[in-house]
């Protein structure tokens, strides 16, 4: 079956630091890949996605590239802000386009 593994948190950074959150996946076929963000007290929001190999998803300064050769979809941001503090979830969805498979989530804390 499909699975997603992401680095455990919490990740604590100072404002303007560079962020990487690692995510790897196992899947049959060609899954679509997603990053969701959960701000305190809120639901999961789609941050970015990529649907095929070498696609780069980007949004709000975050980006991730679908790497089929390394089965990875690492999330990066060049300069984090305090407002980026949240829990980030990597997820995959199979060819059938139905259920999402999530990683364990990574809590990011950005200090001023």
| Residues found near another protein in the complex (CB under 8 A) | 32, 34, 36, 41-46, 49, 51, 89, 91, 96-105
Query: Do residues 85 and 20 lie in contact, with contact meaning Cβ atoms separated by under 8 Å?
Result: no
> CA 91, CA 36: separation in Å to the nearest integer?
8
Nearer to another protein, 36 or 77 (CB): 36
Helix (H, G, I), strand (E, B) or coil at 84: helix
Q: CB 36 → another protein: shortest distance, Å?
A: 8
Q: CB 44 → another protein: shortest distance, Å?
A: 4
Q: CB 45 → another protein: shortest distance, Å?
A: 7
Query: Do residues 32 and 25 lie in contact, with contact meaning Cβ atoms separated by under 8 Å?
Result: no
Nearer to another protein, 19 or 105 (CB): 105
> CA 33, CA 59: separation in Å to the nearest integer?
14
Nearer to another protein, 29 or 112 (CB): 29
């Amino acid at each position: 079956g499909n699975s997603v593994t992401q680095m455990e948190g919490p990740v604590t950074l100072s404002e303007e630091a560079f962020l990487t959150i690692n995510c790897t996946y196992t899947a049959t076929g060609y899954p679509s890949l997603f990053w969701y963000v959960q701000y305190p007290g809120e639901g999961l929001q789609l941050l970015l996605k990529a649907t095929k190999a070498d696609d780069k998803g980007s949004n709000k300064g975050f980006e991730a590239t679908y790497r089929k050769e390394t089965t990875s979809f690492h999330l990066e941001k060049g300069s984090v802000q305090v407002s980026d503090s949240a829990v980030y979830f990597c997820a995959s969805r199979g060819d059938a386009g139905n259920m999402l498979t999530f990683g364990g989530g990574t809590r990011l804390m950005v200090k001023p």
